[in-house]
Amino acid sequence: MPILNPDIETMDRKELLDLQMERLQIVVNQAYSNVDFYRRKFDEAGVSPDDIKTLDDLKRIPFTTRKDLIDNYPYGMFAVPLRDVVRLQFPLGMYGNPIVIGYTGEDLRIWRELVARVMVGVGITEHDIIQVAFNYGLFLGAVRFNQSAELIGAAVVPTSIASAEVQVRIMQDFRSTVLTSAPSFAVHIMETMQRKKIDTGTLSLRIGLFGAESWPEEVRKCLEDNLNIQAYEIFGVTELIEPGVAGECMEKNGLHVFEDHFLPEIIEPVTGRVLGEGREGELVLTTLTTQAYPLLRYRTSDVTSLHADPCSCGRTLVRMEKVLKRTDQMVCVRGINVFPEKIEEVLKSAEGLGPGYSLSTRGKMGMNDHLTIRVKASSEILQTPEERKGAMKERLQMAFRRALGIGVEVEFVKESKS
Amino acid sequence: MPILNPDIETMDRKELLDLQMERLQIVVNQAYSNVDFYRRKFDEAGVSPDDIKTLDDLKRIPFTTRKDLIDNYPYGMFAVPLRDVVRLQFPLGMYGNPIVIGYTGEDLRIWRELVARVMVGVGITEHDIIQVAFNYGLFLGAVRFNQSAELIGAAVVPTSIASAEVQVRIMQDFRSTVLTSAPSFAVHIMETMQRKKIDTGTLSLRIGLFGAESWPEEVRKCLEDNLNIQAYEIFGVTELIEPGVAGECMEKNGLHVFEDHFLPEIIEPVTGRVLGEGREGELVLTTLTTQAYPLLRYRTSDVTSLHADPCSCGRTLVRMEKVLKRTDQMVCVRGINVFPEKIEEVLKSAEGLGPGYSLSTRGKMGMNDHLTIRVKASSEILQTPEERKGAMKERLQMAFRRALGIGVEVEFVKESKS
């Protein structure tokens, strides 16, 4: 089993916990000294950095939420001066309530290594040609695949926004051996091949590395069988690094969390109580080495569970179950995160429509290909002649497309009696 | 005047020519030994690599054209084995007749330095925050700004496809000091600010670094006056590196060509005769250090002239005039290259339409914001009721949008009598 950084990835767990503790104390002290927000939070909770003496003391630290990041926009969460920051990233889909994440050169180097760990772990080598079919314009983390591939000497083809047909042609012409994309787009590529009656035996493809949206096991099986590949997941969290927080190994037995850089906990979302190994709950992450944008006990809203029993791959890093649920109302459609705030913002400027709405998604095998937004409409609007109503719907669809970055369907529904 | 690599950028021209000669012999030998295409071309022309003894012998080498790159797709022009290639890039807009450009790790390192040379040359330092408003999904070279900024320690905000309104808000919130984008988009951002009555005095912006399309001096003046910045140009050639072949210094007195890596000539496009200093003609470039994808006497189709007299900035590298014309039919609209082949391909599958067509562009200050494609239509189509004709136009517009990556207007015109 190939491992990029065996010293860390197969480290004795006792030693790993010591390393985590050491790093936790440093990051807590830095956050307290350099970020007003954390100092205030600690002081209010009556906790001092010196109180954090064991990993068990972690639970004394207050949670950090997405709202905190929004409230401290733009630079309130930064722990280093701006001149030490080399990358400022704001998740495009979130712009309704903007956040901005900063990275130092060292933060980027670590990120690069973590994605490379996943690549090596699933068997990618310097001989591979990796076709990256993520939209580089919208998903800024996509470029990390280029950097990490360079690190291990593999070639990258950034196919970006090319259509499924062009992706297939490039896969044939360039003899790509690895496809990385949102799993729903991989299914679309697969169907395009089937329609064109392309024999996958003529392709060089052997590995799929998928992420940025949830995909049930059924999708893995379908992609593996029909594309004749081994399919793996890479996981990230937009507010930390995405992709690169965790990744599957060849055992496909959960995603190894890179615990030397991120300390994971699982909590009961309502009470905030920490849950034990194997229990399902909300994933909470604490950055252990991040310089620019340290996050202490950040609530990711992702629902999963952790398993620390040994993995046959030799890695000692805990394994995280695939994330298939969220604690918030965010939905992910074709790899793009759609936040309720963005929808509300669009509806604000639409007279006679909203604020009430409901979302409905559909797609193959439990993935979300289509999003329908059912908007509560006034009776005046519902009684408008069909043609004018159609034009109104189209305008609203355009507004949603601009705001969310994806096409959606709009339906007008009656406001329920109060 | 800040200079990143003074040893090279201010090198005595005599020494520079010696360096070029030395590198030319190496690249010619490598191309001849490793690329069948070049060996055939040399043999047919009765030239041997040993015949290239002085820079003047360069003109004995046959030209390389875009058609050659297309004919040798995908890997026929590569001078190194695929395992040494870490990046494979195909210009998305060109996919009708695809080409693919390969880069080794060393090629990417050089590219990174060249863009950093331009950044340093226009006064960007580690204290700057560079807002990169290129579409990372479509213009894959945009990511080079991230890498080069990292090299000099400046921070990058990849705003990518965010709308002009969001760009303005980020510019304010993040206190961006540098904007890099297509000049037409910069004008759009400027107009958005004017509409929102934003006082540029409240911004931190001080430098604009623009490229990927031609922009007359009038546009520079307009952007400088209204955004309260110094505006500079960075130039690239898709088939070599884009951006990074040349860049302006603070003198705004032409673009210094990075002659240690690219050997420029100006030729008369019809006869191929080499023209002297100051004469306007087609730019021909020979790569001097490129490992993966060496190009010998590549005809860029860009029209310009070269000036070797000293520049007050201290650089000895020749200066190239702004490119405002092409020798081919390619037009550039909002930073996206539109090739005639792509238009022809779309028309092929449209019954009763084409193959004849003409292009018309319009926009402010000599830049192309809008493209109208006037398609020759059969008399049956011209006599179709307006409503159905409208639907046909819309379908064709959609097909063009998919193929070209930009929205266009379609008009149906009468076929002229033959």
Q: Give B84-135 pLDDT, tens digit per residue.
A: 999 999 886 555 678 999 999 999 999 999 999 999 999 999 999 999 999 8
Q: How far apart are CA A101 and CA B205, in angstroms?
A: 21
Q: What's the CATH number for A6-110+245-326? A: 3.40.50.12780
Is residue B15 within 8 Å of residue B23, measured between CB atoms?
no
Between residues B9 and A91, which one has the greater pLDDT? B9
DSSP A144: H
Which chain A residues are Cβ-neighbours of B71 within 8 angstroms? none
pLDDT at site A111:
97
Nearest partner of B410 among B395, B399, B397, B398, judged by Cα:
B397
Which one of B88, B173, B204, B342 would you mutate to disrupt binding with A, by most A Cβ within 10 Å of its Cβ?
B88
- Tell me the chain B residues in contact with residue A174 when contact means C-beta distances shorter than 8 Å: 74, 88, 100
For residues A246-252, average pLDDT: 98
| Nearest-CB residue to B135 (from A73, A86, A137) | A137
Residue B301: left if φ>0, alpha if ψ -120 to 50, beta else—which one?
Answer: left
Whether B127 and B153 have beta carbons less than 8 Å apart is answered as no
Q: Quick check: A95 pLDDT over 70?
A: no
What does the mean pLDDT of chain A come to?
93
Q: Which residues lie below 8 Å from residue B1, measured CB to CB, with a gap of 6+? A: B121, B249, B250, B313, B314
Question: What is the distance between the alpha carbons of residues A41 and A32, in angstroms, rounded to a whole number?
Answer: 9
- SS3 of chain B: the string is CCCCCHHHHCCCHHHHHHHHHHHHHHHHHHHHHHCHHHHHHHHHHCCCHHHCCCHHHHHHCCCECHHHHHHCCCCCCCCCCHHHEEEEECCHHHCCCCCCEEEEHHHHHHHHHHHHHHHHHCCCCCCCEEEECCCCCCCHHHHHHHHHHHHHCCEEEECCCCCHHHHHHHHHHHCCCEEEECHHHHHHHHHHHHHCCCCHHHCCCCEEEECCCCCCHHHHHHHHHHHCCEEEEEECCCCCCCCCCEEECCCCCCEEECCCCEEEEEECCCCCCECCCCCCEEEEEEECCCCCCCCCCEEEEEEECEECCCCCCCCCCCEECCCCEECCCCEEECCEEECHHHHHHHHHCCCCEEEEEEEEEECHHHCCCEEEEEEEECHHHHCCCHHHHHHHHHHHHHHHHHHHCCCCEEEEEECCCC
Q: What pLDDT sits at residue A239?
A: 94
Which positions ≥6 away from B387 have C-beta within 8 Å?
A: none
Residues of A in contact with B105 (CB under 8 A): 150, 153
Does A336-414 match A122-233 at the fold level?
no
Under CATH, which number does the domain B122-233 receive?
3.40.50.980
Q: How far apart are CA B278 and CA B295, in angstroms?
A: 24
Q: How far is B18 from A102, CA to CA, in rounded Å?
A: 45
- Confidence at A386, pLDDT banded by 50, 70, 90: confident
Other CB atoms within 10 Å distance of the CB of residue B302: 21
Q: Which residues of B touch A95 (CB under 8 A)?
A: 162, 166
Closest CA to B246 of B324, B155, B145, B318: B318
Confidence label for B204 from pLDDT (cuts 50, 70 and 90): very high
Give the 3-state secondary structure percentages of chain A, helix then strand then coil, rounded to 5.
40, 25, 40
- Supply the pLDDT for residue A350: 86
Among candidate residues A231, A188, A190, the one with its CA nearest the CA of residue A211: A231
Q: State mean pLDDT over B69-85.
A: 95
Q: How confident is the model at residue A94 (pLDDT cuts 50, 70, 90)?
A: low
Cα A212 to Cα A151, A161, A317, B82, distances in angstroms: 22, 15, 21, 29
- Test B126 with A90 for CB contact under 8 angstroms: no
- Residues of chain A in contact with residue B73, where contact means CB-CB under 8 angstroms, are 173
Residue-range domain boundaries for chain B: 6-110+245-326, 122-233, 336-414
For residue B355, is the peptide bond before it cis, meaning its omega torsion is within 30 degrees of 0? yes
CB nearest to A136's CB, from B74, B136, B153: B136
CA triple B239-B64-B344, angle to 5 deg: 65
Q: Which two tokens stand for residue A284?
A: 């909470």
Contacts of B83 in chain A (CB under 8 A): 126-127, 153
- Residue with the larger pLDDT of the pair B17 and B414: B17
Q: Specify the DSSP class assigned to residue A64.
A: B
Two tokens at B125? Answer: 């330092």
Q: Work out the average pLDDT over A341-365.
A: 85
pLDDT at B417 over 60: no
Contact: B174, A127; criterion CB under 8 Å: no
The 10s digit of each residue's pLDDT in B344-376 is 888 988 888 888 898 888 877 777 788 999 999
CA distance A108 to B39: 43
pLDDT at A96: 64
* Interface touch A173/B149, C-beta < 8 Å: no
Q: Is the pLDDT of residue B187 over 90?
A: yes
- The structure tokens listed for B91 are 């210009």
Q: Which residues of A touch B173 (CB under 8 A)?
A: 73-74, 98, 100
> What's the start-to-end Cα distance of chain B, in Å?
61
CB contact under 8 A, A140 and B156: no
Q: What percentage of chain A carries pLDDT values higher than 90?
A: 75
Write the secondary structure of A262-316 as one string of H (helix), E (strand) and C (coil): EEEEEECCCCCCECCCCCCEEEEEEECCCCCCCCCCEEEEEEECEECCCCCCCCC
CA distance B274 to A89: 47
Dump pLDDT digits (tens) for B240-257.
999 999 999 999 999 999
Beta strands A353-362 and A370-377, pairing class: antiparallel
Closest-CA residue of B relative to A140 is B158
pLDDT band for position A199 (cuts 50, 70, 90): very high
Cβ atoms B244, B251 nearer than 8 A: no
Whether A205 shows a pLDDT value over 70: the answer reads yes
Query: What whole-number distance in Å separates Cα of residue B167 and Cα of residue B176?
Result: 10
Q: How far apart are CA B277 and CA A57, in angstroms?
A: 73
Please indicate whether, in this complex, the C-beta atoms of A90 and B157 are within 8 angstroms of each other. Answer: yes
> Per-residue confidence at A233, pLDDT binned at 50, 70, 90?
very high
From the CA of A85, how many Å to the nearest CA of chain B? 6
**What pLDDT score was predicted for residue A418?**
45
Contact B86 A161 (CB under 8 A): no
Contacts for B140 with CB less than 8 Å, ≥ 6 apart = A136, A158, A160, B89, B91, B92
ipTM of the complex: 0.87
Residue B325 CB neighbour total at 10 angstroms: 11
Tokens of B152: 């000099």
Q: Which residues of B touch A82 (CB under 8 A)?
A: 129, 155
Query: Kind of pairing, strands B129-132 and B155-158?
Result: parallel
- Who wins on pLDDT, A68 or A336? A68
- Rounded alpha-carbon distances, angstroms, from residue B251 to A246, B119, B149: 49, 14, 22
User: Scanning the structure block, which residue is given the tokens 């939905």?
Assistant: A331
The confidence score (pLDDT) of residue B336 equals 76
Locate A72 and state its tokens.
């401290």
Least confident of A271-275, B156-160, B174-178: B156-160
Look at the block and give the residue holding tokens 């070639």: A155
Cα–Cα distance between A22 and B216 in angstroms, integer? 58
**Helix (H/G/I), strand (E/B), else coil: A75:** coil
What span, in angstroms and rounded, lies between the C-alpha atoms of B174 and B133? 14
Asked whether residue B296 carries a pLDDT value surpassing 60, the answer given is yes
**Number of other CB atoms surrounding residue B53 within 10 Å:** 9
Tokens of A84: 């030490």
Residue of higher predicted confidence among A90 and B81: B81
| Least confident span in A95-99, A152-156, A288-292, B281-285 | A95-99
| Cβ contact A114:A145 at 8 Å | no
pLDDT at B368 (0 to 100): 79
On the question of pLDDT at B401 being above 90, the answer is no
> What six digits make up the tokens of B204?
């931190």
When CB atoms are compared, the residue of A82, A138, A156 closest to B86 is A156
Paired tokens of B418 = 């033959």
Rounded to the nearest angstrom, the gap between the alpha carbon of residue B55 and the centroid of all alpha carbons in its chain is 26
Mutate to test the interface with B, among A150, A166, A342, A398 (most CBs of B within 10 A): A150
Per-residue pLDDT at B82: 93
The CATH T-level fold of domain B336-414 is GMP Synthetase; Chain A, domain 3 (3.30.300)
- Cα–Cα dist B83/B404, whole Å: 32
Q: Report the alpha-carbon distance of residue B71 to residue B345 in Å, rounded.
A: 17
pLDDT score at B418: 46
Task: Locate A195 and state its tokens.
Answer: 């329609």
Distance CA A191, CA A367 (A): 15
Region class of B144: left (phi > 0), else alpha (psi between -120 and 50), else beta: alpha
With an 8 Å Cβ cutoff, are A161 and B92 in contact? yes
Query: What value does the mean pLDDT of chain B take?
Result: 93
Angle CA A315–A320–A324, to nearest 5? 150
Nearest-Å Rg of the Cα atoms of chain B is 22
Residues in a beta bridge with B371: B361
CA distances from A291 to A26, A28, A38, A99, A263 (A): 11, 11, 14, 17, 15
Residue of A nearest to B73 (CA): A173
Looking at residues A310-316, what average pLDDT do you find?
96
